[in-house]
Amino acid sequence: MATRRLTAGLLAGLVLLASCSGAPTTTTTAPAPPIQIVFRPFETTWTPADDVEQVTALALDELVRLGGSALVPVSLPPETDSSAGRLAISRRDPPGEVYVDVYITFTQDGHEAALSLSSYPADQVHPTCVERKVKENSLEAVEVRSASGCVFTNTVGLSFIEWNDGDRWYHVETFMQPDDAISWLTDWEQLP
């Protein structure tokens, strides 16, 4: 009798184990995103920040080689005392996206100011201002370098300016007044 119970218990355990082992498992966690690696194959600095010839000599070959594009200033805001620029080319794998960051710092009347501009290939990954405006009512439509764009300023005065010119998607962060920054960006030169 004891052997029957043991056999029945083992048989029930085997049936339960067999039925559960093929069952799909459910999970409440989200799937892990693919691992991305960011390489920074090139970085340079120059001064003054509006020396286009200097930054072109330093960065143009690398921009062409890596497939990046950047906007750089040809002038500085009025009453600028000193300035410096930094250009960094990065590559994100996957998907092999090359993007360029340009950081400009300058002083006016003893106060430091800055503007950072990121340039990415125009693609489906980066939302357009129209798509973002649907989600965020605080975005204001603007025109930047003859392209449709948007601007948002947070509660501490940091402004975000974005636009897409068809080939590139641009993102700016600055504490400058948005109208002043947009006016200044109009004169920037594209490399290459």
- What is the pLDDT at residue 190? 95
The pTM for the full model equals: 0.78
Model pLDDT for residues 46-56, shown as the tens digit of each residue: 999 999 999 99
What is the distance, to the nearest Å, from the Cα of residue 43 to the centroid of all Cα atoms in its chain? 17
Confidence of residue 159 (pLDDT cuts 50, 70, 90): very high
Mean pLDDT of the chain: 84
- What is the pLDDT at residue 93? 84
The Cα 117–Cα 42 span in angstroms is 16
- What is the pLDDT at residue 131? 67
Kindly state the average pLDDT of the residues 138-151: 91
The yes-or-no verdict on residue 27 having pLDDT over 60 is no
- What is the pLDDT at residue 130? 65
Tokens matching residue 192: 């290459």
Q: Which residue has the higher pLDDT, 5 or 58?
A: 58
Q: Which residues contact 102 (CB under 8 A, 6 or more apart)?
A: 70, 71, 72, 85, 86, 87, 116, 117, 118, 119
CATH 3.40.1000 corresponds to the domain 37-191 = yes
Kindly state the average pLDDT of the residues 80-97: 91
Where exactly are the structural domains of the chain?
Answer: 37-191
Q: Residues 8, 10, 12, 18: what is their CA dihedral angle, to the nearest 10 degrees?
A: -150
Residue 145, CB-side half-sphere exposure with 13 Å CA sphere: 20
